[in-house]
Amino acid sequence: MTTPERDLAVENQWCPGCPNYGILAALKRALERLDLPPHRVCLVSGIGQAAKLPHYVDAHVFNGLHGRAIPAAIGIQVANPEMTTIVTSGDGDLYGEGGNHLLHAFRRNPNLTVIVHNNRIYALTKGQASPTTPLGERTRLQFDGVDVDPAQMLATAIVHNCTFVARGFAGDLDGLAAILERAIAHRGLSLVDVIQPCITWGSHPVDWYRERVFAVPEDHDPTQRDAAIRLALDAPDRFAIGVLYETEPRPTFATAYRKRVGSGPLAWMPRIGRAAIETHLAAWVVDPEGKEPTKEKG
């Protein structure tokens, strides 16, 4: 068996200059810093521009359906907790079509990192509003401007006590790599919403965002829910970058199960064996009393 030689001659399909390249670079750097070999990493995505990212990294890939990255990742993570499983997909994918899965993932707390490429737009379908497009912004479907409020998924994560909630900026490679490194190392669900301006369909250039991001204040206590929610709630034009909320890890998904069976991949656990099944099959049989000759004849 040779060392993994991955067909990385995959042509990148993003627009030249797209901040998605920044997320890609930051993720690669974080994986390197964490010293994770490619075959111990699984990247999971849905469908969209963002969701193409896994094809550009040296890792296992599950590029599933639009909106369904989270449940697929949960299945992968339960089946093989020895891999580092990371979801990387779009704001439409994870907050729109897949909103219910993310909501319930907060409850389950699987050991996953979820990276949301938040470009506030449906880019691959050419520019409709995403759940995070600000009120009033005009798009190629909302011609008079978006008239519903944006989804507040970071705040929703916080009220569900998701133990690692951060916002990153795709225009800041170092900062983002550092956040991703912490997120991946964190045990339990880590949510990282990355501001990723779309330079093709978005309303503002990267610099507009650069001028409006600010670091989470030094004195912010990331264990404080109220303060974290305040930082999380999207002002349409001010973005606190950094870890907004971080508390003691709580039990991750399937902890009780894993206590019972150990930590290996389900696929290579010892066979249940015929005996266990045969016991059940035997229990179906009602033995006739007549076979036991001592019993009375009713």
Partner 1 sequence: MNDRNVVIAGAAGEGIQTIGDVVATSFLAHGYPVFLTQEFESRIRGGNSSTTLRIGSAPHNAPRRDADVLLALNRVSQQHYAPQLREGGILISPEVFAFRDLAKEHGGSERYANAVAAGALCAATGMPVAVLERRLRETFAGHGEEVAAANARAAQAGYDQALGRLGERAERPLPPRTHRYAFASAHDAIALGAAAAECRFMAAYPMSPSTHLITTFARHPELGVFAEQAEDEIAAIHMGLGASAAGARAMTATSGGGFALMVEAVSLAGMIETPIVIVLAQRPGPATGLPTRTAQEDLLFAIRAGHGEAPRAVLAPSDPQDALRAAIRAFDLADRYQIPVIVLTDQYLADSRFALPPVELPDAIPGPQLADPASIERYARYRLTDDGVSPRLALGQSEHLVCLDSDEHTEQGHITEDLDTVRPAMVEKRLEKGRRLKGEIAPPSRNAVDDADLVLVGWGSTKGAIDEAVSILRDSGRRVGALHFTELWPLPAMEFSETARYWTAEGNATGQLAQLLRMEYGVETEGRIGRYDGRPLDAATILEALS
Using CB under 6 A, list all residues that contact ligand TPP: 47-50, 66, 90-93, 117, 119, 121-125, 130
Residues 78-107 that bind a copy of itself (CB under 8 A): 96, 98-100, 103-104, 106-107
Query: CA-to-CA distance for 250 and 260, rounded, in angstroms?
Result: 18
Query: CA-to-CA distance for 124 and 37, rounded, in angstroms?
Result: 31
Residues 114-153 that bind ligand SF4 (CB under 6 A): 119, 123
Query: CA-to-CA distance for 266 and 60, rounded, in angstroms?
Result: 17
- Judged by beta carbon distances under 5 to 8 A according to partner kind, the member of partner 1, Mg ion, ligand TPP, none in contact with residue 15 is partner 1
Greatest Cα pair distance in the chain: 93
109 binds a copy of itself (CB under 8 A): yes
* Torsion over CA: 275, 281, 283, 289 (sign): negative
Pick the stretch among 37-45, 130-138, 221-229, 281-289 that binds Mg ion (CB under 5 A): 130-138
Near Mg ion by CB under 5 A: residue from 64, 71, 90, 127: 90
Near ligand SF4 by CB under 6 A: residue from 201, 239, 245, 253: 201
Q: Which of 182, 22, 214 is nearest to 118 (CA)?
A: 22
Please identify which residue in the block is written with the tokens 């600000």.
134
- Paired with 169 in beta bridges are 195
CB of residue 217 vs a copy of itself: minimum separation in angstroms?
A: 18
Near Mg ion by CB under 5 A: residue from 91, 181, 193, 246: 91
Do 19 and 206 contact (CB within 8 A), yes or no? yes
Near ligand SF4 by CB under 6 A: residue from 45, 49, 77, 163: 49
* Torsion over CA: 150, 64, 71, 81 (sign): negative
Query: CA-to-CA distance for 48 and 64, rounded, in angstroms?
Result: 11
98 binds Mg ion (CB under 5 A): no
- CA 210 centroid distance within chain: 25
Pick the stretch among 74-82, 181-189, 209-217, 243-251 that binds partner 1 (CB under 8 A): 74-82
**CB-based burial label for 204 (10 Å; 0-12, 13-18, 19+):** middle
DSSP 44: E
250 binds a copy of itself (CB under 8 A): yes
Pick the stretch among 8-16, 155-163, 177-185, 226-234 that binds partner 1 (CB under 8 A): 8-16
CB of residue 157 vs partner 1: minimum separation in angstroms?
A: 16
The CA–CA distances, whole Å, from 247 to 17, 135, 162, 166 equal 36, 32, 8, 12
Sketch the per residue contact string, 89 through 128, with partner 1: x for CB under 8 A, - otherwise.
-------xx-xxx-xx-----------------xxxxx-x
Near Mg ion by CB under 5 A: residue from 111, 119, 133, 252: 119
30 binds ligand SF4 (CB under 6 A): no
61 binds partner 1 (CB under 8 A): yes
